[in-house]
Amino acid sequence: MTLEEIAKEIGVSKSTVSRALSGKGRIGEKTRNRILEVAKRGEEREEMARTRTVTHNIGVVLPSDVYYGSGVYFQNCLLGVCESASMLGYNVLITTSNAHDISELQSLVESNRVDGMLLTRALEDDRALQYLSQANFPTALTGTCRYDNIIQVDTDNEGAAEKMTTLLIGKGFRRFAFLVKDMSYNVDRKRHEGFCRALIKNGISEKDQLFYNGSIRMEFLDAIIENIISKKVECIICGDDEICTMVMSRLQAEGYRIPKDVAIASLYNSTNLDCYSPAVTAVSVAASQMGGTAVRQLIQRLRGENYEKKTMLDYDILFRKSTN
């Protein structure tokens, strides 16, 4: 580890780290021991990295809820990962994790079964990313995080949400309902920030809007929709395709006309939405391209080649009849 890396992890200056490692200069015993401990751990990690056996395997971490919906994005992302990895001579090992259990991920790393890891979702306080970053293990993420040693491939979710909301405001909508799964997901938090920024820029009060977080389940949908209609919401903005299909199905089952009674849009487009009429206004992002780009950058790092630490992919906003 460099002096800067040690200093950043502990929260002291580089000069303090230098004094502790050299044994010269005045420094508290507790701080000195902490610095020496971190430096030793760093040396052990570097030695482990030097002696690791190359497996030509990439571990891919899917969120555990992928089996209970929200699958299309992750399926397409995984398809891009597998295609690109195969072309570059690497295999893919798939595992799952959640906010509280990263044991399977740790097992892959510590048993030397993979050369690198690719995560497909980032949380606000992500244990998996923290573990991999501290171990300086070659890692890529389809998303954005605060760790500089993690390869990141994303789209501007905040900007896309702001742009879509601004365009909807331009069409005359003023009263919205905004629905996301979980604000601990970085992507949902960014989308909400973009939505709020569009409101502020256009002089529309946030207090007049409805916001639903984490309770978008079938058993709660009737109450949510009843509240949306009673509050005279003009447009529903859904955080992703899964929420959009649930809400749209329920609205149409109850006899509401889209967009005459209420308009609807999704901040992620997928084939799930193709089954619905009218066609749904949505943000289009190439998930397979995101996965493929992330694994290619990761493999280039593993090979000692030049690679991009951060990549932002373009998005399109598809305006369709659901907000006409």
Question: How does pLDDT run across 146-168, given as a tens digit for each residue?
Answer: 999 999 999 999 999 999 999 99
Better-scored residue on pLDDT, 130 or 52: 130
Q: How confident is the model at residue 52 (pLDDT cuts 50, 70, 90)?
A: low
**168 CB-near residues (< 8 Å, 6+ apart):** 176, 235, 237, 263, 265, 323
The answer to whether the beta carbons of residues 25 and 12 sit under 8 Å apart is no
DSSP code at position 23: T
Whether 116 and 299 have beta carbons less than 8 Å apart is answered as: yes
Residue pair 132/117 in contact by the 8 Å Cβ criterion: yes
CA–CA distance, 162 with 169 (Å, rounded to integer): 10
Lowest-confidence segment of 47-56, 70-79, 249-258 by average pLDDT = 47-56
**Can you point out the beta strands (E) in 88-156?**
91-97, 116-119, 139-142, 151-155
State how beta strands 235-238 and 210-213 pair.
Answer: unpaired
Q: How far apart are CA 280 and CA 322, in angstroms?
A: 5
Q: What does the pLDDT average to over 118-122? A: 95
Q: What is the spatial distance between Cα 92 and Cα 89, in angstroms, rounded to a whole number? A: 10
In sequence order, which ranges of the chain are alpha helices (DSSP H)?
3-10, 14-22, 29-51, 71-87, 103-110, 127-134, 157-170, 186-201, 218-230, 241-253, 287-302
CA dist 50 and 35 (Å) reads: 23
Fold (topology level) of 57-155+287-315: Rossmann fold (3.40.50)
User: Does the N-terminal peptide bond of residue 278 adopt cis geometry, omega within 30 degrees of 0?
Assistant: yes
Asked if the model's pLDDT at residue 70 lies above 60, the reply is no
pLDDT of residue 100: 83
| Least confident among 7-16, 92-101, 115-124, 179-188 | 7-16
Structure-model confidence comparison of residues 30 and 315, the more confident one: 315
What pTM did the predictor assign? 0.81
Say if residue 24's pLDDT is above 60: yes
Q: Check the CA dihedral 151-302-313-161 and report its sign.
A: negative
Q: Where are the domains of the chain?
A: 3-51, 57-155+287-315, 157-284+318-323
Residue bearing the bigger pLDDT, 5 or 305: 305
Q: What is the pLDDT of residue 15?
A: 84
Question: Is residue 99 scored above 80 in pLDDT?
Answer: no
Write the single-letter amino acid at 72.
V
Fold of 157-284+318-323: Rossmann fold (3.40.50)
Facing residues of 63 across strands?
97
pLDDT at 279: 97
pLDDT at 115 over 70: yes
Q: How confident is the model at residue 101 (pLDDT cuts 50, 70, 90)?
A: confident
More confident residue, 37 or 294: 294
In angstroms, rounded to a whole number, what is the distance separating the alpha carbons of residues 275 and 295?
31
**Is the pLDDT assigned to residue 289 strictly greater than 60?**
yes
Up-side HSE of residue 9: CA atoms within 13 Å toward CB? 23
Question: Which residues pair with residue 215 across a beta bridge?
Answer: none
First to last CA, the chain: 56
What percent of the chain clears pLDDT 70, i.e. is strictly above it? 94
Q: Which of 58-62, 211-215, 252-256, 314-318 has the lowest mean pLDDT?
A: 211-215
The pLDDT tens digits of the residues spanning 168-221 come to: 999 999 999 999 988 989 999 999 999 999 999 999 999 999 999 876 666 788
Other C-beta atoms closer than 10 Å to the C-beta of 73 total 25
Chain centre to alpha carbon of residue 86: 24
Domains 57-155+287-315 and 157-284+318-323 alike in fold: yes
The predicted pLDDT at position 44 comes to: 65
